């Protein structure tokens, strides 16, 4: 247990202490608690800001990424001066300025099956701010194995959802976890990422604030957490619905007869390993082909507005239009697909090979970002 509060701390948290159902003992619970935030992007940014302001004793942040220009539309923890810096290092610096009474621990690495249990075991609650299915299942399973509540949210375009998983109430009743809601992941490429489908900038702020709210309720014991309920929010028409989530007997990690007793290969589980085996072309190879005057077809699968940000030429066929424009994609000669980072174009190449029997298609590895770093640094990085 940490020490009590100084006069400065009491003044800082006075609006909490003025609440009718919140007193110094509740604030002390926050000070004595530890929360791990997985991912400090759109969701993790507001979660980290509000939990730091609220006075959580120790906040851990796991993220391997750097701040990019496209982050600034929604990741309110960062600004233009932070571009190119590790997100966790920027977060640590800014959060300490926000509240010097909070201990910030950073993990500048990717959360993986090999390190998840070791990192999570030191925390009371986990806030999942990830943006991919493999890490969501990893976070869920690690929380189940360690007996830690998992505060979940996800966002897409104008919609978001949130819930509390693996929460044990005062009656020792353990609520459902993520695998009770989603037993298995969707097929790779079925659900677009925010980079592909877009996201309204304020949406992660709304959902991240809800996550922070649930974390505070879990730690202090006030209110009723979202355990056993999934909140679905559509900010376009502003509709909010709640779905009941029940525990499944066939849940592989927490059902009646569990078949999984440890962490697994989550990339393989989510089919991410399958998508990696596609023919690739490096930016250096493409540059050499251009200089040599070699014949090839270059296809840009980004959205039209992205062409105005950075462009290396070629035919524009957005990923969502590929199926309807197959006649424009030659089956003879070399055809190279590219996007911002190579992810969208990789899924396009895989689909053309597996479903439409193309044998001449290549993915530009690293996309526009790699071209900027290795070939033409005058391009805008977004």
Place of tokens 């695998």: 179
Catalytic residue among 104, 164, 245, 339: 339
Burial 174-191 (b: 16+ CB within 10 A, else e): ebbbbbbbeeebeebbee
Cβ-Cβ contacts under 8 Å for 368 (sequence gap 6 or more)? 302, 310, 312, 338, 339, 340, 341, 379
Place of tokens 């779905």: 243
Calculate the dihedral angle through the C-alpha atoms of 331, 336, 342, 343, rounding to the nearest 10 degrees.
Answer: -10
Burial category of 192 from C-beta neighbours within 10 Å (exposed 0-12, middle 13-18, buried 19 and up) = middle
Q: Is 134 helix (H, G, I), strand (E, B) or coil?
A: helix
Q: For this structure, is 339 an active site residue?
A: yes
CA dist 344 and 303 (Å) reads 11
Catalytic residue among 104, 134, 143, 194: 194
Phi, psi torsion values for 299, nearest 5 degrees? -125, 125
Catalytic residues, which ones? 194, 339
């Amino acid at each position: 247990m940490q020490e009590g509060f100084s006069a400065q701390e009491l003044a800082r948290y006075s609006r909490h202490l003025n609440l009718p159902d919140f007193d110094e003992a509740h604030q002390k619970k926050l000070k004595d608690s530890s929360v791990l935030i997985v991912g400090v992007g759109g969701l993790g940014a507001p979660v980290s800001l509000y939990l730091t302001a609220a006075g959580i004793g120790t906040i851990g942040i796991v993220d391997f990424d750097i701040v990019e220009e496209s982050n600034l539309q929604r990741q309110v923890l960062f600004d233009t001066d932070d571009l190119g810096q590790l997100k966790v290092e920027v977060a640590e610096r800014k959060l300490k300025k926000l509240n010097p009474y909070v201990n910030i621990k950073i993990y500048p690495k990717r959360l993986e099956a090999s390190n998840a249990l070791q990192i999570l075991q030191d925390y009371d609650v986990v806030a999942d701010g990830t943006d991919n299915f493999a890490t969501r299942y990893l976070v869920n399973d690690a929380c189940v194995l360690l007996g830690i509540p998992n505060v979940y949210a996800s966002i897409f375009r104008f919609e978001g959802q949130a819930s509390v998983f693996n929460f044990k109430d005062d009656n020792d009743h353990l609520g459902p976890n993520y695998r009770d809601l989603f037993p298995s992941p969707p097929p790779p490429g079925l659900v677009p990422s925010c980079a592909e489908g877009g996201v309204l900038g304020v949406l992660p702020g709304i959902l991240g604030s809800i996550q922070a709210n649930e974390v505070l309720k879990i730690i202090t014991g006030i209110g009723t957490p979202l355990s056993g309920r999934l909140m679905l929010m559509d900010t376009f028409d502003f509709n909010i619905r709640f779905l009941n989530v029940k525990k499944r007997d066939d849940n592989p990690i927490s059902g009646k007869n569990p078949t999984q007793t440890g962490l697994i290969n989550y990339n393989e589980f989510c089919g991410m390993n399958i998508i990696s085996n596609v023919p690739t072309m490096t930016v250096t190879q493409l540059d050499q082909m251009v200089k040599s005057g070699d014949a090839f077809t270059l296809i840009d699968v980004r959205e039209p507005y992205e062409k105005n940000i950075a462009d290396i030429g070629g035919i524009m066929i957005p990923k969502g239009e590929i199926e309807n424009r197959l006649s424009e994609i030659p089956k003879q000669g070399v055809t190279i697909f590219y996007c911002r980072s190579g992810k969208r174009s990789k899924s396009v190449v895989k689909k053309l090979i597996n479903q439409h029997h193309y044998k001449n298609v290549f993915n530009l590895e690293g996309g526009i970002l790699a071209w900027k770093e290795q070939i033409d640094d005058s391009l805008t990085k977004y």
